[in-house]
Structure 1
Amino acid sequence: MTIPKKRRSRYNPTSEDFHKEDFPFYWLARVYGRYSMAMEKRLKKVDLDIPRWRILNILHENGESSISEISVHAIAKLSTVTKTVYRMKEDGLVETSQSSLDGRVTQVAITDKGQQVFHDMHEVTDELFHQSFEGLTEAQIRKLNQVLAKIFDNLPES
């Protein structure tokens, strides 16, 4: 059941009866901000940051990926991902190669060192994941993901 537009006014920042605590993006921003700060603190222990964490997760799950594919999944600018990938290459975490199908495309793969760092980063962040979702059931987490995916799909790409 969707909320009629009239009843959505208190959630809309342009409404006279708006309160920030009723705005879903207020809570999304607060949750993400707190999560990011906690993640950065933990990732420092293994000499990583969130952009590198994202890229390692994407490569671990997807295997070899193009820089463009990584950019889409990380929801980051192509230029930013490109810089991060080449810094990771210098650190020995990833390797790059030219696509055999299209010479303009750079493929990225995780190295053995990158796999080890992937495991190390999950050791230092695992507790945060469990702490974040304490008191929620699997069904609640699944529903949360469904709601967030719907909002994501409703938003324009740029």
Structure 2
Amino acid sequence: MTSTKKRLSRYNPASEDFHKEEFPFYWLARVYGRYTMGMEKLLKKIDLDIPRWRVLNILFENKEASISEISEHAIAKLSTVTKIVYRMKDDGLVETRPCEQDGRVTQVSITEKGRQAFFAMHDITDELFHKSFQGLTEAQVRKLNQVLAKVFDNLPES
């Protein structure tokens, strides 16, 4: 066993030295779960949910995106995102149209009502965001993002 594998063995669930509290995915799951519960509670107050929150964030940043691009950024199945987008269209939050270059592709854009929902959702969730990173410096948050991006890149796509 290489020295790197030996050093990392205690973080591996298959190891005899394993303790769940030392498993990074244990903490990722707990952080994500707690954050999600807080977000759901807050977003419910303005008739939104996390899938709509994701789509609105993606569209606000990109102005327009195809359903497959939204699916990629949201890390969600294409069929799931399609259902979410069409529910959001029914709610007046987004508009859809065929792509000019490829009619098989559906382009999605945010409406004025969607922009209002975007600002409302950020107003209501802002405190949760700041509380989540209380006591961390900007450099620590940046490093956390770098480490998580590296782990993400190491994982298989499917």
Into which bin does the TM-score normalised by the smaller protein fall?
A: over 0.9
How far residue 157 of structure 1 moved from its aligned partner, in angstroms, is 0.2
CA distance in 2, matches of 1:50, 1:7: 38
Cα deviation code 1:102-150 (max 9, x no counterpart): 0000000000000000000001000000000000000000000000000
CA distance in 1, matches of 2:66, 2:80: 14
Match of 2:9 in 1: 9
Unaligned runs of 5+ in 1: none
Match of 2:68 in 1: 68
CA distance in 2, matches of 1:131, 1:74: 23
Match of 2:45 in 1: 45
The amino acid that maps onto 1:25 is F
**Aligned ranges 1:3-152 → 2 under 5 Å:** 4-152=4-152
List 4+ stretches of structure 1 deviating above 4 A: none
How far residue 4 of structure 1 moved from its aligned partner, in angstroms, is 0.6
TM-score by length of 1: 0.98
CA distance in 1, matches of 2:64, 2:36: 26
The amino acid that maps onto 1:58 is I
Unaligned runs of 5+ in 2: none
How far residue 31 of structure 1 moved from its aligned partner, in angstroms, is 0.1
The amino acid that maps onto 1:104 is R
TM-score by length of 2: 0.98
SS at structure 1 position matched to 2:45:
helix
Cα deviation code 1:41-93 (max 9, x no counterpart): 00001100000000000000011100000000000000000000000000000
CA distance in 1, matches of 2:83, 2:6: 46
